[in-house]
Chain A
Amino acid sequence: MIPLTWYLVVAAGLFCIGLYGALARRNAVGVLMGIELMLNAVNINMVAFWRYGAVAQMTGQLFAIFVITVAAAEAAVGLALIIAIYRQRRTVNVEEIDSMKG
């Protein structure tokens, strides 16, 4: 059987790659893709802890499904925002979208 730590290390790596993408990308769609990677890393952790913990209760898988639901809602609203911003300002570069900067 594969040790639990392996799954957690892979999830940690995926989370850090997603974090880098979310913070370093210039394009807003790229930022969203980084956030999706981070949410997927969390899901791997949830399912791994379910498999190696209380397998009879389905709490781990249940919360993974809730995370997927929230990710779907976030992607829909986020991409709608990106399209609306693009229509108004002709750019999806997060550095140029700074009208709320103090």
Chain B
Amino acid sequence: MLQAVFIVLSLVTLGSAAMVVTSRSLFRSALWLILAFFGIAGIFILLHAEFLAVVQVLIYIGAISTLIIFAIMLSRNAMDVKGQRFNEQWGVVAGFSILLFVILLALLTRVQWHVTAEPVPPDAIARLGGAFVGPYVVPFEVASVLLVVAMIGAIIIARERE
């Protein structure tokens, strides 16, 4: 049962990801990207990372997708469906991507992983919060500084100059 759900979710994710990179209209790509993000959120739920699934929906679908759609609408010639989608090196890139996937597949199916299928502790989210303010407090603060810097930088870069 779970396997069937996983297969459906991963087919949705991979299929819409393929549509993201091949769709002629960039706007449609952005909509397929939202579907791909939903599929990944579903995979997170299957992995018992419910908090991360909610974060995925909030940040990726709620914020980043909206930002991408805004950028598409603000750059006018991105909306047209005429013209080439890919640059001239797309054949080489496709070959390289498939080669990388084959190498990864060969590696992943050969390695014996030491899997411990323990149940997820019921206070997983509390532990996550505790880790953020405990052993990982410095990375946490650095991440918040990074967000502030990115916000100020984005405003300064995108500002209209006279």
Once bound together, how far apart are the Cα atoms of A20 and B98, in whole Å?
9
- A 45-59 binary contact with B (CB < 8 Å = 1; else 0): 001101111111111
CB < 8 Å A-B pair total: 232
> Is the pair B67, A1 in contact by a Cβ cutoff of 8 Å?
no
B residues 22-55 with Cβ under 8 Å of A?
A: 26, 29-30, 33, 36-37, 40, 43-44, 46-49, 51-52, 55
> Is the pair B70, A21 in contact by a Cβ cutoff of 8 Å?
no
Minimum Cβ distance to chain B for residue A41 (Å)? 9
Instruction: Determine the chain A residues whose CB is within 8 A of the CB of B105 once the complex forms.
Output: 9, 12
Once bound together, how far apart are the Cα atoms of A91 and B97, in whole Å?
27
Using a CB–CB cutoff of 8 Å, the interface residues on chain A facing chain B are 1-2, 4-10, 12-21, 23-27, 29-30, 32-34, 36-37, 40, 43-44, 47-48, 50-59, 61-62, 64-66, 68-77, 79-84, 86-87, 90-92, 94-95
- Known A75-B64, A83-B74; further 18 A-B contacts with Cβ < 8 A: A4-B113, A12-B104, A14-B14, A25-B85, A27-B26, A29-B71, A33-B20, A36-B64, A40-B60, A43-B52, A53-B114, A64-B52, A68-B56, A68-B59, A72-B59, A79-B154, A80-B153, A87-B160
